[in-house]
Amino acid sequence: MGSPPVVGKIRQGLWYMAEDTTTTTGIARHGAARLPSVEVDSFNIELKDDEGFLGDRASKGAFRKILDSLRKPLRKNGDDPLGKKPAGDIAKGELDEALVGADVGAAALVHSAIEEFAQELAYVTRRFLKTKAWADTERIVVGGGFRQSRVGELAIARTDLILKAEGLEVDVVPIRFHPDDAGLIGTLHLAPSWIFEAHDSILGVDIGGTNIRCGVVETRWKKAPDLSKAEVWASELWRHADDEPTREGAVKRLVKMLKDLITATEAEGLKLAPFIGIACPGVIDEDGSIEKGAQNLPGNWESSKFNLPASLVEAIPRIGDHDTAVLMHNDGVVQGLSEVPFMQDVEHWGVLTIGTGLGNARFTNRRKDNGKDEKKAKKGRD
């Protein structure tokens, strides 16, 4: 690839040049609105009400807060069926067990928390649907760590029932892939389809406020050109929140994880594409910088002097015999992209990811056969 052009930006009325950063990928721009399969109508919307950011009402922490508020009067009488641990210390598996266990009091308590949370999630969803960007949304996929539990599945199903009872014609469904895999599999939909003809896998990176996950994603493109059968072949997880690294230390660790995976694919004989797809929190600018929303990452990732895609290209300039291309997008967008093959029966759809916060993105499918359909229609008219 040739030298990238120098691109300027306008922020707060001031024009400045983005120096020493990779502003294009040779494939698409970072945070692009147009991707191979969809138009990204919006992402990372921060809606507010009188109580603050709406996302805070439907986050993983919000559910725990609801559960603890229901337990508070029970604790005074020593009748809390979930014991003395605060909700934040109770594992998802323990809550799932309480739902089906012999202690009906514990089951009723968790069900009550699910109902309250579903009401909150329904309220937040209604607010999204009232925005211009989310108009005519037909289906909403719910991902994030909260979804990967029976409690989460019931909350999602209850939200769907609440909205339908109010006459809203929208389906609310859990994401198909495990949320840990969805964030990696979604990176496939950042890449142009021609990459898949000569390669059978890509590198995916899913960056979160607590963890960084890297993986090799097998396309299985020959079995399913729509990528519906894609799988994570291998992945590595680093819980950076435990180590509290510097920003530079985090990038160094990320590079090592990627190089280890490259070595593993070579030993296995996989045809790894020279492409790295990255899912990252925040508003991603087209030059690969992060405008806002990266406050939970180690160090200052929003600095004008920091550019993760450029850092990775510098550290891993080639994969196999080709120059490395890196494309980064918002993590909610990327997790949603894993659902592209299964959303072809609707036109407008969205994703909500319930985790530390509430990620969001809205998509419109790009109908690649529109031209053919128009020709058929014209032929029929003739």
182 lies in the same domain as 326 = yes
- Which pLDDT does position 382 carry in this prediction? 44
Q: How many C-beta neighbours within 10 Å does residue 223 have?
A: 11
172 lies in the same domain as 182 = no
Residue 2 lies in a domain: no
Q: What is the pLDDT of residues 101-117, one digit of tens each?
A: 999 999 999 999 999 99
Q: What is the CATH number of the domain that holds 232?
A: 3.30.420.40
250 lies in the same domain as 217 = yes
Segments in the chain below pLDDT 50: 1-26, 370-382
Residue 127 lies in a domain: yes
> What residues make up the domain containing 203?
7-30+178-186+194-330
268 lies in the same domain as 209 = yes
Q: Is 119 exposed, middle or buried (0-12, 13-18, 19+ CB in 10 A)?
A: middle
- Which pLDDT does position 78 carry in this prediction? 80
344 lies in the same domain as 266 = no
Q: What is the pLDDT of residues 294-342, one digit of tens each?
A: 888 988 999 989 999 999 999 999 999 999 999 999 999 999 999 999 9
- Which pLDDT does position 381 carry in this prediction? 40
- Which pLDDT does position 64 carry in this prediction? 94
The last residue of one of the domains, among 312, 330, 348, is 330
135 lies in the same domain as 251 = no
Q: What is the pLDDT of residues 238-258, one digit of tens each?
A: 999 888 899 999 999 999 999
- Which pLDDT does position 14 carry in this prediction? 31
Closest C-alpha among 327, 271, 291, 367 to residue 25: 327
Residue 359 lies in a domain: yes
123 lies in the same domain as 164 = yes
> What single letter denotes the amino acid at residue 209?
G
What span, in angstroms and rounded, lies between the C-alpha atoms of 260 and 253?
11
Q: What is the pTM of this model?
A: 0.86
209 lies in the same domain as 151 = no
Residue 47 lies in a domain: yes
The last residue of one of the domains, among 330, 357, 373, is 330
- Which pLDDT does position 293 carry in this prediction? 87
Residue 160 lies in a domain: yes
304 lies in the same domain as 371 = no
- Which pLDDT does position 368 carry in this prediction? 63
Residue 1 lies in a domain: no
110 lies in the same domain as 70 = yes
154 lies in the same domain as 244 = no
64 lies in the same domain as 153 = yes
- Which pLDDT does position 128 carry in this prediction? 96
Report how many domains make up the chain: 2
